[in-house]
Amino acid sequence: MKYYGGIDLGGTNTKIGLLDTNANLIFSTSIKTEAIKGFEDTVDRICNAFKEEVRKNNINYDDIIAIGAGIPGPALDKRVCVGFANLPWPNDLKMADLIEEKLNKPCFIDNDVNVITLGENFAGAAKGYKDILCIAIGTGIGAGIISGGKIISGKKGAAGEIGHLVLVPNGMLCGCGHNGCFEAYASATGIERIANSELVVNRTSSLHELKKVRNIEAKDVFDAAKNGDILANQIVDKEADYLALGISHGLNLVNPSVVVLGGGVALAGDFLLDKVKKILPQYALSATLDGLEIKGATLGNDAGIYGAAYLAMTELGE
């Protein structure tokens, strides 16, 4: 059997796993990223943890063909980290080279949302599709786009930045410095900002009492909406509208067969998804909706490991 390593480098934790070509997860483990100690230290600890798990699981090291890694930022040519928004590491970091030196296996890297998309394509909700739009809606919003079976990376690895489409010119400030981004409104952070702001003036919502104790989170809004809270339902309806608008831009530009929604906000499930599907025909060309499937992601937190291993597989043409 041939095996492929998958590394999912995150701001806080880094997940490390091994898969076979049939998408069986042989092992998975996790370490603290502790990026503050420097990239050499983190890469060392990732590679040591990987080798340790390989040994524990009695895998012949020669049967491991290659390693893939998802990184939190754009990647160039499947080898170089262009830059990290949230890690104190230098730009143009040759991450693939670093891992290859330590593990003595070919290594390929890509942006984390692209890697999640590959994971859902390999073993999740997008299995068997060749034209895929996968959107992760959590603290921020990012997308991976697969067209004709290939990830669209763009010139600088910055493709798929759907969260920064400006949906509301002169709208709410976004973390990127622009105003009115999709992410500013429709991410979990956006929902929380809107809820906490509206609760300053709305005192009838069931969320009002909760806000006296702590800041409202996105999940609180969905829970209250499901229980019939009027304000919470208004916020969820707006959320569905922004999601439909943002998704429609992706549909009109790349015409995927399937849209996969992942991340914390997608956990609201059909309650949210049914609203989005109802609004989509207002925004997306009917040709792009013809036969379109919209699904929740199925791999959860493991999507990055699956996708990173699959990245290595596909880059080697397996």
Tokens for 151?
């990830």
Residue 200 contacts by C-beta under 8 Å, 6 or more apart in sequence?
none
Question: Least distance from C-beta 254 to a second copy, angstroms?
Answer: 5
Query: Rule CB under 8 A: is residue 112 a binding residue for a second copy?
Result: no
Q: In angstroms, rounded to a whole number, what is the distance separating the alpha carbons of residues 254 and 261?
A: 16
Q: Give yes or no for a contact between 244 and 212, defined as CB atoms under 8 angstroms apart.
A: no
Query: Rule CB under 8 A: is residue 248 a binding residue for a second copy?
Result: yes
Distances (CA, A) of 172 to 164, 169, 189, 209: 12, 9, 12, 26
- Which range in 59-67, 90-98, 118-126, 160-168 contacts a second copy by CB under 8 A? 160-168
Question: Least distance from C-beta 166 to a second copy, angstroms?
Answer: 5
Question: Least distance from C-beta 148 to a second copy, angstroms?
Answer: 7
Query: Rule CB under 8 A: is residue 92 a binding residue for a second copy?
Result: no
* The only residue of 128, 169, 228, 317 in contact with a second copy, by rule CB under 8 A: 169
* The only residue of 29, 206, 233, 255 in contact with a second copy, by rule CB under 8 A: 255
Nearer of residues 25 and 168 to a second copy, judged by Cβ: 168
Nearer of residues 42 and 121 to a second copy, judged by Cβ: 121
- 């390989």: which residue's tokens? 54
> How many CA atoms within 13 Å lie on the side-chain side of 257?
12
User: Alpha helix locations (H) across the chain?
Assistant: 39-56, 95-103, 112-123, 182-186, 188-198, 207-213, 218-226, 230-254, 270-283, 286-289, 303-315
Query: Which three-class secondary structure state does DSSP give residue 88?
Result: coil
Q: Which of residues 271-310 bind a second copy (CB under 8 A)?
A: 282-283, 285, 287-288, 290-292
Question: Least distance from C-beta 73 to a second copy, angstroms?
Answer: 9
Q: In angstroms, rounded to a whole number, what is the distance separating the alpha carbons of residues 299 and 262?
A: 9
Nearer of residues 27 and 283 to a second copy, judged by Cβ: 283
Nearer of residues 169 and 228 to a second copy, judged by Cβ: 169
* The only residue of 147, 206, 233, 298 in contact with a second copy, by rule CB under 8 A: 147
Question: Least distance from C-beta 304 to a second copy, angstroms?
Answer: 21
Nearer of residues 161 and 220 to a second copy, judged by Cβ: 161
What is the bridge-based pairing of β-strands 107-111 and 132-137? unpaired
Query: Rule CB under 8 A: is residue 32 a binding residue for a second copy?
Result: no
Q: In angstroms, rounded to a whole number, what is the distance separating the alpha carbons of residues 241 and 250?
A: 15
Distances (CA, A) of 120 to 295, 298, 300, 308: 11, 7, 9, 11
Q: Residue 137 corresponds to which amino acid?
A: I
* The only residue of 55, 56, 150, 278 in contact with a second copy, by rule CB under 8 A: 150
Phi-psi region of 180 (alpha: psi -120 to 50; beta: other; left: phi over 0): left
Tokens for 91?
């730009």
* The only residue of 19, 162, 221, 272 in contact with a second copy, by rule CB under 8 A: 162
Nearer of residues 59 and 82 to a second copy, judged by Cβ: 82
Query: Rule CB under 8 A: is residue 143 a binding residue for a second copy?
Result: yes
Q: In angstroms, rounded to a whole number, what is the distance separating the alpha carbons of residues 40 and 35?
A: 9
Query: Rule CB under 8 A: is residue 114 a binding residue for a second copy?
Result: no
Q: In angstroms, rounded to a whole number, what is the distance separating the alpha carbons of residues 87 and 215?
A: 26
Question: Least distance from C-beta 85 to a second copy, angstroms?
Answer: 10
Binding region for a second copy (CB under 8 A): 74, 82, 131, 143, 145, 147-148, 150, 152-162, 164-166, 169, 176, 178, 241, 245, 248-250, 252-257, 282-283, 285, 287-288, 290-292
